[in-house]
């Protein structure tokens, strides 16, 4: 039932890691303590109206903003006569590789859905959020918006029709992410990829994806470690990320289970068993980039079991 007594909601839209090495456009996970804050309010004027964006210079026009496009897609399906205002505190830099556009798109549709009385499940909201991704990079992919909405690990089996699976998360699994403050646009990162791969390479990649999924169900950290190998995308995209090979070696030496490019980059992630190791990996990442003139941020985060979080009802 629609929450007509509420004028709005304040929410947290988490960041995410997509691809998880071998799972290009298929696998993703939700991060616990990195993300954007948003307020969604009712408006007497139909449509989506972005009133403010703090932290980043992004367009306020709804049709030019991923939040606006996602929100409009939801209203088109549900009731185009409704109106909502959106304000965003943008903590995830666009082009960072940790799901900036996905957070804005997912937060918008989740907030509107909440005020409507949740007529859609989180999974049913994914296609609307994907329209924001289409604006951002030209492809309506789901590997970031799915975990941002559903939480935990997700696997996108297909997008037409949409078929998304929730996967379990090993209890101690922790992510470390370094974000070099250079921009790698998703569209550019896709443009460098090869259109064909050899059968042998494809077989190895399928095997890694299958083993990684099995490792999540079995909480088999050793198998997970052996599976975090990308035979197809990482060898090409890594040239776009300064000191990538040094980062990977440093993460391994510090005890990480594995590491790789987060989304389309430039962020690099590492997965570890336990917070202690994850913090050691963070220190190792710091040691690599402290010797360069590239500014960077480092995050350590558990995997968030739920997606978008509703923080406060606004009357």
Residues 135-184: pLDDT tens digits?
988 888 899 999 999 999 999 999 989 999 999 999 999 999 999 998 77
* Under 8 Å between Cβ of 177 and 298: yes
195: pLDDT confidence band, cut at 50, 70 and 90?
Answer: confident
pLDDT, average across residues 119-137: 95
CATH architecture of 8-167+305-314: 2-Layer Sandwich (3.30)
Cα→Cα distances 145→96, 107, 249, 261, 292, Å: 15, 9, 30, 17, 33
Alpha helix ranges (H) inside 15-141: 66-78, 100-115, 122-137
Spans of all domains in the chain: 8-167+305-314, 173-302
Q: Which of 124, 168, 172, 167 is nearest to 149 (CA)?
A: 124
194: pLDDT confidence band, cut at 50, 70 and 90?
Answer: confident
- H/E element, 287: helix 275-289
* Under 8 Å between Cβ of 165 and 155: yes
Q: Considering the entire predicted model, what is its pTM?
A: 0.94
Residue 187 is predicted with a pLDDT of 66
* Under 8 Å between Cβ of 148 and 99: yes
- H/E element, 283: helix 275-289
**pLDDT of 81 above 90:** yes
CA distance 10 to 108: 11
**pLDDT of 36 above 70:** yes
**pLDDT of 216 above 90:** yes
CA distance 269 to 175: 7
Q: Which residues are catalytic?
A: 133, 186
CATH 3.30.70.890 for domain 173-302: yes
Instruction: Count helices and strands (H / E) in the chain.
Output: 10, 11
202: pLDDT confidence band, cut at 50, 70 and 90?
Answer: very high
Tokens at 112, concatenated: 């509107």
Of the chain, the percentage scoring pLDDT greater than 70 comes to 96
Task: Please state the three-class secondary structure of 213-256 as a single string.
Answer: HHHHHHCCHHHHHHHCCCCCCHHHHHHHCCCHHHHHHHHHHCCC
More confident residue, 190 or 43: 43
CA distance 1 to 21: 41
pLDDT, average across residues 5-25: 95
CA distance 260 to 302: 17
């Amino acid at each position: 039932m629609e929450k007509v007594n509420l004028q709005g909601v304040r929410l947290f839209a988490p960041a995410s890691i997509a691809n998880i090495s071998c799972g290009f456009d298929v696998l993703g996970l939700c991060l616990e303590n990195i993300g954007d804050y948003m307020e969604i309010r009712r408006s007497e004027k139909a449509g989506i109206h972005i009133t403010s964006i703090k932290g980043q210079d992004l367009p306020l026009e709804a049709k030019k903003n991923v939040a606006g496009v996602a929100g409009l897609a939801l209203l088109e399906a549900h009731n185009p006569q409704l109106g909502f205002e959106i304000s965003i505190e943008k903590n995830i830099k666009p082009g960072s590789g940790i799901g900036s556009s996905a957070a804005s798109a997912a937060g918008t549709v989740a907030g509107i859905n909440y005020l409507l009385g949740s007529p859609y499940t989180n999974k049913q909201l994914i296609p609307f959020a994907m329209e924001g991704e289409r604006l951002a990079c030209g492809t309506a992919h789901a590997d970031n918006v799915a975990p941002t909405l559903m939480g935990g690990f997700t696997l996108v089996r297909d997008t037409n029709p949409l078929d998304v699976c929730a996967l379990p998360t090993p209890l101690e699994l922790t992510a470390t992410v370094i974000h070099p403050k250079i921009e790698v646009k998703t569209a550019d990162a896709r443009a460098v990829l090869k259109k064909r791969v050899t059968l042998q390479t494809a077989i190895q990649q399928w095997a890694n994806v299958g083993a990684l999924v099995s490792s999540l169900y079995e909480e088999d950290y050793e198998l997970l470690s052996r599976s975090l190998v990308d035979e197809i995308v990482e060898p090409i995209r890594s040239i776009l990320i300064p000191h990538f090979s040094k980062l990977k070696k440093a993460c391994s030496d510090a005890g990480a289970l594995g590491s790789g490019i987060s989304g389309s980059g430039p962020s690099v992630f590492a997965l570890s068993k336990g917070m202690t190791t994850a913090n050691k990996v963070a220190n190792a990442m710091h040691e690599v980039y402290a010797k360069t003139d590239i500014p960077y941020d480092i995050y350590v985060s558990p995997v968030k079991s739920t997606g978008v979080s509703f923080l406060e009802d606004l009357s």
